[in-house]
Amino acid sequence: MKRFLLSLATLVLLAFHGLAPAESTIDDRAALRGVKEGKGVFLIDFTEPRKTAFYLDIIRGTHAGLKRQGVKPDLVIVYIGPTVRFLTRVPDEELVIDHDASLQAIAGHVEALAALGVRQEVCNIATRAFKVDNANLLPQLSLVGDGFISLIGWQTQGYKLIPLF
């Protein structure tokens, strides 16, 4: 009896399989119509390492998604605020104790994004405010005088702002 019911269920599924709507392609075709280059500047201001690591991974996916859809990615990340505490080769002890895995993930994402050609800037005002030694910043990062001035410059050059906080 079990075999009969299993066979019947299989036949029913096969019969209705052709009636399912075709899976559509999920992409950004409408937004990218006529776009050859995607110029974006991400403003990152997070208080948690885990959230920072999560969004850096998302930015890597955005870079890949643009390429996959035939658009040349031209991306910049500007780190401000307490996020700068997560961008050093020697983070403070309390951060390491509570967030070691996230800090390692951040360092890996920073390195991978740099390898993709994503420029990453760290605000010197933020490093001073949060007592981060600029000499200990991850080597793939560029120190800028003022993250807000940098954002103004990038936007004036045609980069679209994507604020993350």
**Domains annotated on the chain, with CATH:** 45-164 (3.40.1260.10)
pLDDT number for residue 81: 98
How many alpha carbons lie under 13 Å from residue 20 in its C-beta half-sphere? 9
Per-residue pLDDT of the chain (165 residues; tens, 9 = 90+): 555 444 444 444 444 444 445 567 899 999 999 999 999 999 999 999 999 999 999 999 999 999 999 999 999 999 999 999 999 999 889 999 999 999 999 999 999 999 999 999 999 999 999 999 999 999 999 999 999 999 999 999 999 999 999
Token reading at 49:
């390492």
Q: What's the rounded Cα separation, in Å, for the pair 127 and 124?
A: 5
pLDDT number for residue 6: 45
pLDDT number for residue 25: 87
Question: Residue 52: what are its φ and ψ, rounded to 5°?
Answer: -60, -50
Q: What's the rounded Cα separation, in Å, for the pair 72 and 5?
A: 54
Token reading at 164:
């993350």
Please report, for residues 1, 12, 14, 15, the alpha-carbon distance to residue 7 in angstroms, rounded to integers and kept in the order given.
10, 9, 11, 12
